[in-house]
Amino acid sequence: MRWSQGFIPTLREDPANVEAASHRLLIRAGYIRQLTAGVYSLLPLAQRIRLKLIEIIREELNKMGAQEFLLSALQPIELWEESGRVNSVADVMFRFKDRKGSHLALGVTHEEVFTSIARSHITSYRQLPQIWYQFQTKFRDEARPRAGLLRVREFTMKDSYSFDLDETGLDKSFQLHHDTYKRIFRRCGVNATPVQAHSGSMGGSASIEFMAITDAGEDTIVLCSKCQYAANIERAESSYAPLENGYKGEQSSLTEFATPGIRTIDALAKFKEGAPASRQIKTLVYLADSKIALALVLGDQELNEAKLQSALQCKALRQAVEAEIVEALGAHPGSLGACGIKSAPDGKVSAIVADVRLKGRENMVTGANKDDVHLRGVSMERDIIPDRWHDLHTVKSGESCTSCGGTLELVNGLELGHIFKLGTFYSKTMDAGYLDNEGNRNPLFMGSYGIGVERLLAAAAELTHDAQGLSWPVALAPFHVVILAANSKDKKQIETAERIYDELKGCGFDCLLDDRDERAGVKFNDADLIGVPFRITVGRRAADGYVELTRRKDKRTADFAIADISAAMEAEITAAVS
Ligand SMILES: [Zn+2]
């Protein structure tokens, strides 16, 4: 393409009020424009990258035997009612009525539609396994769209779904996706770390996120400094010394004491008759599927809500508000505790979950469920009756890895892909089954697997940009090479640039000829800003038959004979993508 005829609306200045580098540079370099909150137009340069990403993903999925579909973005709400997800996704789902009054939604994901096709047409074990995928627009009414393409309300997703006979088959499909995802991200030149993830409300047995480690990410990832351990903070574990068989703390009797105005762990730690945070029991009150549940953790630790949700196996979880707390426990926050409370599925308190680190603790302090009164001498064994023990702890930087003892660190991660063992959640709720070789009907075992295409584009920008602008990996770049005459008044230079442009195009390279009547410095800066990986500069030495080849990412520059330039480009591209 000729720059003079292309649509590359670069800006001289950074856009205002923009934080993420990808957001800033994609706007400034003329790749995207915002239409409305969380909705972007992809301009030609961005669309070139998007199509390259799609092609890489498609090739790798086809290689593993997956079959491409294209389902509708428009979906009848009945399918979501059948799966029971209509409520859990209600706040992000775009819904409306058509002219006849039928309820429709724009697809948040496509588990329901794929399952409805599977149940109609898969009847026998002979048809399994199947892996189906598509590239389709997803719509999510995010409360806080942010950071350009990183969190949007409309985006392209590659979503695939596997259907297997049993758990073993699902394990295989899951592993196949795991390996394929690693290849996809490697080919894209994007470093993505697989991390263990929280399975959410669907109770699947395994879930792995592929994360780009970048400050632009909004997830927190726990990494081990010694081994390969990597997990989302929602799921991460750290080692601790259990007390159950060895704690020698003093036994003491349960005694109330007045704590006027003391409302926090800190205040109680400073209070004369109080106790350090590590000897307090923090009692938190939640509504789990509309029922009151208590969560207990050590006073110096943070409750992990994702782990609490796993412990309670609930679909919806939120903190109780003050009125709900007073009604259930008879006291206000700051004086709460679980001593003597018996949970019952339909009682005032439906569940009491205690963190495993509390096991065996003696002589603890906690609220008495009377305002301004606490209890000391609390024994976990004697005074509190949790109905389940669970790891509820939020890992902190510097704690120890459970597998190797190495030190754990916390970093920011940006989710690029997620692979998920769904098991039989959808096949059971939506009745999708097959007959085995003995004629018995079994549910399909399903997995679902996603990659956000535009987010991957933005992640590549985040990971590779520098002070001069974008710097695309060769496999994704909108153009492999930009060719320019240093002096745009010099007919000889222009002619040579044109010749090289034609030759390289003929060799199959994506070429951009900067034929604008601009100073060399302007052309260099623009080429750097839009991030083309190679630049060929036709300058004074062209008269002697030489041009300059510059690599964008490190500015390494070398002279080549014009006759050798396509071989030189070939060698560079091959080295960059292998
Ligand atoms: Zn480790």
Q: How far is CA 359 from its chain centroid? A: 34
**C-alpha of residue 518 to centroid of ligand 1, in Å:** 55
In this structure, the answer to whether residues 289 and 343 fall within a common structural domain is yes
**C-alpha of residue 395 to centroid of ligand 1, in Å:** 14
Residue 86's pLDDT is 86
Interatomic CA distance for residues 360 and 378, integer angstroms: 11
In this structure, the answer to whether residues 264 and 176 fall within a common structural domain is no
- SS3 per-residue string spanning 165-184: CCHHHHHHHHHHHHHHHHHH
Q: Is residue 404 part of a domain?
A: no
Contact 130, 122 (CB under 8 A): yes
- Which of 432, 436, 458 lies closest to 531, judged by CA? 458
Q: Encode the chain (578 residues) as per-residue pLDDT tens digits.
A: 999 999 999 999 999 889 899 999 999 999 999 999 999 999 999 999 999 999 999 999 999 999 999 999 999 999 999 988 888 888 899 999 999 999 999 999 999 999 999 999 999 999 999 999 999 999 999 888 888 999 999 999 999 999 999 999 999 999 999 999 999 999 999 999 999 998 765 556 689 999 999 999 999 999 999 999 999 999 999 998 776 544 455 667 889 888 888 889 998 889 888 888 888 999 999 999 889 999 999 999 999 999 999 899 888 889 999 999 999 989 999 999 999 889 888 888 899 999 999 998 888 999 999 999 999 989 888 899 999 999 999 999 999 999 999 999 999 999 999 999 999 999 999 999 999 999 999 999 999 999 999 999 999 999 999 999 999 999 999 999 999 999 999 999 999 999 999 999 999 999 999 999 999 999 999 999 999 999 999 999 999 999 999 999 999 999 999 999 999 999 999 998 87
Helix, strand, coil shares of the chain, percent, nearest 5, are 30, 30, 40
In this structure, the answer to whether residues 160 and 286 fall within a common structural domain is no
Q: Quickly list H helices, 29-166.
A: 44-63, 77-83, 85-88, 111-121
Q: Is residue 229 part of a domain?
A: yes
**C-alpha of residue 229 to centroid of ligand 1, in Å:** 5
In this structure, the answer to whether residues 348 and 220 fall within a common structural domain is no
Instruction: Render 509-553 in DSSP notation, one character per residue.
Output: --EEEE--S--HHHHHHHHHHHT-SEEEEE-GGGGGTEEEEEETT
The CATH number of residue 565's host domain is 3.40.50.800
Task: Determine the residue type at 426.
Answer: Y
Interatomic CA distance for residues 121 and 532, integer angstroms: 47
CA-derived radius of gyration, the chain: 30
Residue 155 token pair: 């985006």
Residue 249's pLDDT is 59
Residue 77 token pair: 């709400």
In this structure, the answer to whether residues 355 and 415 fall within a common structural domain is no
Interatomic CA distance for residues 134 and 130, integer angstroms: 14
In this structure, the answer to whether residues 495 and 416 fall within a common structural domain is no
The CATH number of residue 337's host domain is 3.90.960.10
∠ CA 142-147-149 to the nearest 5 degrees? 75
**C-alpha of residue 231 to centroid of ligand 1, in Å:** 11
Residue 204's pLDDT is 61
Q: Is residue 471 part of a domain?
A: no
- Which of 536, 538, 532, 545 lies closest to 487, judged by CA? 538
Q: Is residue 242 part of a domain?
A: no
Sign of the Cα torsion 439, 441, 444, 445 reads negative
**C-alpha of residue 481 to centroid of ligand 1, in Å:** 43
Task: Determine the residue type at 371.
Answer: D
Q: How far is CA 499 from its chain centroid? A: 46
The widest CA-to-CA distance across the chain, in whole angstroms, is: 97
Q: Is residue 402 part of a domain?
A: no
Q: Quickly list H helices, 65-166.
A: 77-83, 85-88, 111-121
Contact 339, 368 (CB under 8 A): yes
- Distance (Å) of CA 456 to CA 49, 148, 149, 190: 10, 12, 9, 8
Contact 283, 296 (CB under 8 A): yes
Interatomic CA distance for residues 101 and 94, integer angstroms: 16
- What domain count does the chain have? 3
Cβ < 5 A residues, ion ligand 1: 224, 226-227, 229, 401, 403-404, 406
**C-alpha of residue 397 to centroid of ligand 1, in Å:** 13
In this structure, the answer to whether residues 361 and 298 fall within a common structural domain is yes
In this structure, the answer to whether residues 485 and 452 fall within a common structural domain is no
The CATH number of residue 91's host domain is 3.30.930.10
Residue 40 token pair: 């972007």
Instruction: Render 443-457 in DSSP notation, one character per residue.
Output: EPEEEEEEEEHHHHH
Q: Is residue 245 part of a domain?
A: no
**C-alpha of residue 407 to centroid of ligand 1, in Å:** 7
Residue 246's pLDDT is 44
In this structure, the answer to whether residues 232 and 344 fall within a common structural domain is no
**C-alpha of residue 415 to centroid of ligand 1, in Å:** 22
Residue 357 token pair: 């680190």
**C-alpha of residue 278 to centroid of ligand 1, in Å:** 26
Residue 578's pLDDT is 76
Secondary structure class of 563 (helix, strand, coil): helix
Contact 250, 376 (CB under 8 A): no
In this structure, the answer to whether residues 230 and 306 fall within a common structural domain is no
**C-alpha of residue 31 to centroid of ligand 1, in Å:** 41
**C-alpha of residue 295 to centroid of ligand 1, in Å:** 28
Determine which helix (DSSP H) or strand (DSSP E) holds 281, and give its type and residue range.
strand 281-288
Domain that holds residue 526: 481-577
Instruction: Render 345-409 in DSSP notation, one character per residue.
Output: TTSSS-EEEEEGGGTT--SEEEEEEETTEEEEEE-HHHH---SEEE--BPP-TT-B-TTT-PBEE
**C-alpha of residue 227 to centroid of ligand 1, in Å:** 4
Interatomic CA distance for residues 448 and 292, integer angstroms: 32
**C-alpha of residue 411 to centroid of ligand 1, in Å:** 15
Q: Is residue 241 part of a domain?
A: no
For residue 373, the tally of other CB atoms under 10 A from its CB is: 17
In this structure, the answer to whether residues 110 and 211 fall within a common structural domain is yes
Q: Is residue 401 part of a domain?
A: no
**C-alpha of residue 47 to centroid of ligand 1, in Å:** 41
In this structure, the answer to whether residues 200 and 58 fall within a common structural domain is yes
